[in-house]
A and B are shown apart, each in its own frame.
Chain A
Amino acid sequence: MGSNVLLIEDEPNIIEAIRFILARDGWHVQTHSEGTSALAAVLRARPDLLILDVMLPGRSGFDILRDIRACAEIAALPVLMLTAKGQSRDRAMAESLGVSRFMTKPFSNAEMLAAVRDLAAR
C-alpha cells in the first residue's frame, strides 16, 4: 500500500494534530473539511487510506461512506471512521456500510497511529 492519506474532518485543530502525527510517521496527508464535496475530494485525491469523520457540515460521514462503497473506482478504499458519538447504533451503522475500522473520540495519538498502520498493513 502507498502512503497517501486523505483526512476528512471539520475541526481545524484535530486536522492539524492528526496531520502532524501522520506526517512524522511518513504519511503524505491531504485534508478536506466539508461533507457535500467529500466524494469528489476522494475521487480527486485517490488516497490509499481515508480517515472520515461522521459529523461533517453538509453531509454525514455515513452518507459519504455509502457512496464510496457504491463507486467501483474507490469501493475497496480502506476507511477509518471517527465519531464523537460512540453509541453502539453508530458503530453498527458504520459496520453495515462497510467501514474498515471505527474509532470513538477522544482517542490517543498512539491509537490513531496504530489504527492507520494496521489498516495499511492489511
Chain B
Amino acid sequence: MTGTRIRERRLMLGVRQAELARSVGISASYLNLIEHNRRRIGGKLLIDIGRALNVDAATLAEGADAAISSALRDAAAQHESARADLSRIEEFASRFPGWARLLADRQRRVTELERVVEMLSDRLTHDPFLSASLHEVLSTITAIRSTAGILAETEDLDPEWHSRFLRNLRDDSRRLAEGAQALVGYLDDSADVVGRQSLPQEELEDFLDARAYHVAELEEGRDDIDNLIAAADMLVTASGRDLARRYLARYARDAACLPMAPLVAAVARHGLDPAALAQDFGLDPTLVFRRLAALPAERGGADVGLVICDGSGTLTFRKPVAGFALPRFGAACPLWPLYQALSRPMAPIRTTVELSGRPARRFLAYAICQPVAGNGFDSPQVFESSMLILPEPGEDSAPAQPIGTACRICPRPACPARREASILADGFQVGMPAPG
C-alpha cells in the first residue's frame, strides 16, 4: 500500500517522520496516519512526498514492482558494469523475480547499514564524551592488567605491597564497572539515530527542531527570551541555556529588522532568492539567510537549510534540510561553499552543489563571510561564514560542485580536498565485485 511504501522509503533513507512531515507541510501525526494506510494519499501531496524522498510518486503509488525497480536502479548506478543494463531492469525483474527481490532487499539493507555506520563512525571519531570515556576505560584496564600481572607473577611480593596492589585492583575494578556501565548507557541511548542530546549545541538544536526553527513567540513579541528558556525542558545545561539565549537574542533582533509578514509577501514575489530579498529590503544578506531559515515550514521554511561557522570552520549553527546531511561532530566537507566563502570575506558565492550519497542530491547554495558586528576597531577581526541551502530549481543539468558531508563518510575517492580515508571506501567497497 502507498502508505507502507512511503514509510519503507523514509526509513531506508533515515529521514525522521517529523522531518518529512515538515518538509511537505503536514503534521507528523497526519503523516503517521498516511504511513499506516489510514488516510488516502494522492495528488500534490504524494508528489511532494516523492520529491522529498527522492523517488517517483508513481513508484510510491504503484507498489512492489516499482519499488524493486527503484532499488535495482540505485544498485546499478553504483556499478559501472551494470549501467549498460539499466534499460533492461524491468525485463530482469520479470524474468527473475526472486533474484530481483533479493538484490533489491540487499541494496536497501546496504543503504541502511551505511547510514548506521556513518552515524556511529561520526560519533566514535568526534564525540568528546565517547572519546573521554573510552580513554578512561582503557586507562583503567591498563592499571588492572599491570597490577594483576604483578600479583600473579611476583612470587616474593612483600605483604604490604601485596595488600596495596589488591586495594588498587579493587578500586580499579569498581571504576571500570562504573565506566563501562556509563558507556553502555550512553550507547544504548544513542541507539536511536537522533541520539542523546549531550552537547549544548545539540540542546539548542533540539529546542529549535521542536519549533521547526520558527520561534513564533518572538515573531509576535508575545513572550520574552528568559520565559522561553525557562519553559524549555531540553535546555538542561547552563551552556545550552546560554547558547539559546544568545541565539534567541539574535533571532529577536533579526525579526525586528525584517518582520515575518513582509518577508512572506516578498517570498511570494521573489521566491527563496536571498539576493533579491536582500536588495528589496536593503538588508544584510546573512540576516536574510537567517530569516529565510526561520520561515514557518508551510511557508517554505521546510526547504531551507542553514549552516554557520566561525573563523576556525567550526559549525556554530545547523539547520538541516532533507537530503543534505550535516555532520553531528567534527569538521564538515572543506569543499562546501561555506568554507570557500571563509577564504574570500565579503564576496558572495552562489553555486549548485551535488552531495555525495545514494542517490546524489543537488542543492543551490548561497554563502557569504562577514566580520562579526560590534567587534570594535582595535580587536582582532572575527569572521562568521553563513551558507543557505535551497532545493535546486528544476532539472538543471549544468555541472554542479561535488561535495560531501565529511571525508570519513564520503565515498568520493579522488577528491582533491580529502584529508582522511573514507570508511565507506574501506569498509564497503573492498570485497565487493570490482566495478568495470
Contact = CB atoms under 8 A, between A and B. Distances in A.
A14 B150 contact: no
B185 to A, nearest CB: 20
A21 B135 contact: no
Given A20-B161, A24-B154, A109-B153, A13 B138 contact: no
A16 interface: yes
A13 B150 contact: no
B142 A106 contact: yes
Interface string B127-146: 00001001100111111111
Contacts of B399: none
Contacts of B131: 85
Nearest to B141: A106
B171 A13 contact: yes
Interface string A77-97: 000000011000100000000
A25 to B, nearest CB: 12
Contact of A106 (B138, B154, B171): B138
B147 interface: yes
Interface residues of A, number: 20
Interface in B137-170: 138-147, 149-150, 153-154, 161, 164-165, 168
B172 interface: yes
Given A55-B135, A84-B135, A105-B138, A11 B146 contact: no
Nearest to B125: A87
Contacts of B168: 13, 16-17
A105 B149 contact: no
Contact of A17 (B134, B135, B141, B147): B147
Interface residues of B, number: 24
Interface string A14-35: 1011101100100000000000
A2 B161 CA distance: 27
B143 A14 contact: yes
Contacts of A24: 154
A84 B142 contact: yes
Contacts of A84: 134-135, 138-139, 142
Nearest to A89: B420
A18 B150 CA distance: 10
B149 A11 contact: no
Contacts, number: 63
Nearest to A53: B139
B150 A20 contact: yes
A105 B147 contact: no
A13 B149 contact: no
A16 B150 CA distance: 11
Nearest to B134: A84
A57 B408 CA distance: 29
A110 B153 CA distance: 10
A76 to B, nearest CB: 28
B142 A14 contact: yes
Contacts of B144: 106
A84 B140 CA distance: 10
B150 A21 contact: yes
Given A55-B135, A85-B135, A13 B143 contact: yes
Nearest to B168: A13
A57 to B, nearest CB: 12
B153 A11 contact: no
Contact of B146 (A18, A55, A85, A89): A18
Nearest to B161: A20
Contact of A108 (B138, B140, B145, B165): B145
B264 to A, nearest CB: 49
Contacts of B150: 17, 20-21, 109
A81 B154 CA distance: 26
A20 B149 CA distance: 11
Nearest to B137: A84
B133 to A, nearest CB: 11
Interface string B111-137: 000000000000000000001001100
Contacts of A14: 139, 142-143, 146
Residue among A16, A24, A89 facing the most chain B CB atoms (10 A cut-off): A16
Given A16-B168, A84-B135, A112-B146, 11 more contacts: A11-B139, A11-B140, A13-B171, A14-B146, A17-B165, A21-B146, A55-B139, A105-B138, A109-B150, A109-B153, A110-B149
Q: What are the 7 closest A-B residue pairs judged by CB atoms, nearest first?
A: A17-B146, A84-B138, A13-B143, A106-B142, A105-B142, A109-B149, A13-B168
Interface of A: 11, 13-14, 16-18, 20-21, 24, 55, 84-85, 89, 105-110, 112
5 contacts: A16-B168, A17-B147, A84-B139, A108-B146, A109-B149
Interface of B: 131, 134-135, 138-147, 149-150, 153-154, 161, 164-165, 168, 171-172, 420
